[in-house]
Amino acid sequence: MDYFKDLQFIQGANLPDRRSYHALRTFDNYYTIHYCHAGEFFLQVDDSAELASSMPCAFLAFPGAKFTYGNPHEPYHHLYVCFRGELAETWRAGGLLRCLRKDMLIPIFNSADFFNKFARLIQLLQSPHRNRSHARAVLLLAELLLQMAEQQQQHFNRSNPFAPKMNDLIKKIHRTPEQEWDFRHEAKQMNISYSYFRKVFEELYQEPPHHYLLQCRLQKAEYLLIDNELTIYEVALACGFQDEFYFSRLFRKNYGVSPLKYRKERLIEL
């Protein structure tokens, strides 16, 4: 049966080495989820203030506004998918699309899960048998939108007095995940116990601090693996892993393939 025929996908792509900056882009009669998985990303909607994020972030582009986005100076890992149809308008009328504010970049805290779902959606759209997998693609799209809405709400609900300091720490971790981060020291800098630091961190970002750090290191590794001049060992060291074999096991556990296979697949895409 032709499930979800009232939603059409226009296009989608997974671009691990995107080098572009779109000025005053419009999206007529369709919607687009944009996701920056790694690198610094900028967004400006109409005449609002420019936003910037160095952590994984997403936004929804829609008809009726002008979007300026990307990075004019450095590459970034960009995924996007465009869609339209009666189901999309039903989602908007029901609040799922409307609740995604146009004036913010939504931080994606569980970025490995979000990336894997997004990459799988794009694989389905690019498959020669895409018509057979249309229903699964629609369900993945709905899951991504729901996750964006939930994480946006979590972002708004952060009333903990230590949230601003935690957000500053998160930004620093994303800039230099390869550093030897001492979270007990960070807790001391905030004048709180490590147990309370960990509790607040997990409430804000849904992961323990050391696990979050590992995800940031793996995100950097994704980007460095595109550079075929670096050995796997050099990539591991550049991302804060002293043991190449531990790095490879961890990478495979999170992405389903070895670093070497991931590199080969991405080089073919480029």
> How far, CA to CA in Å, does 29 sit from each of 64, 86, 94, 135, 230?
9, 11, 18, 22, 43
Residues 210, 183: contact at Cβ < 8 Å?
A: yes
pLDDT of residue 232: 93
Asked if 26 and 95 count as a contact pair (C-beta separation under 8 A), the reply is no
Say which residues have a Cβ less than 8 Å from residue 139's Cβ, sequence separation at least 6.
none
- Using alpha carbons, select from 143, 122, 148 the residue that is nearest to residue 9: 122
**DSSP character at residue 49:** P
Residue 229 has pLDDT above 70, yes or no: yes
Alpha-carbon distance 270 to 268, whole Å?
A: 5
- For residues 266 and 183, give the distance between their C-alpha atoms in angstroms, rounded to a whole number: 34
| Residue 171 in this model has a pLDDT that exceeds 70 | yes
The stretch 120-124 carries a mean pLDDT of 92
The residues with which 34 forms a beta bridge, in sequence order, are: 59, 80
The residue with greater pLDDT, 203 or 14, is 14
Task: Give the Cα separation of 50 and 57 in Å (integer).
Answer: 14
Spatial contact of 43 and 67, defined as CB atoms under 8 Å apart:
yes
pLDDT of residue 223: 79
What is the rounded average pLDDT for all residues in the chain?
86
Per-residue confidence band for 25, with pLDDT thresholds at 50, 70 and 90: very high
| Phi/psi of residue 46, nearest 5 degrees | 55, -125
Once rounded to an integer, what is the mean pLDDT over residues 242-253? 92
Query: In which band, very low, low, confident or very high, does the pLDDT at 101 lie, cut at 50, 70 and 90?
Result: low
The mean pLDDT value for 246-252 works out to 93
**Contact present, 88 and 100 (Cβ < 8 Å):** no
What is the arithmetic mean of pLDDT over 153-170? 74
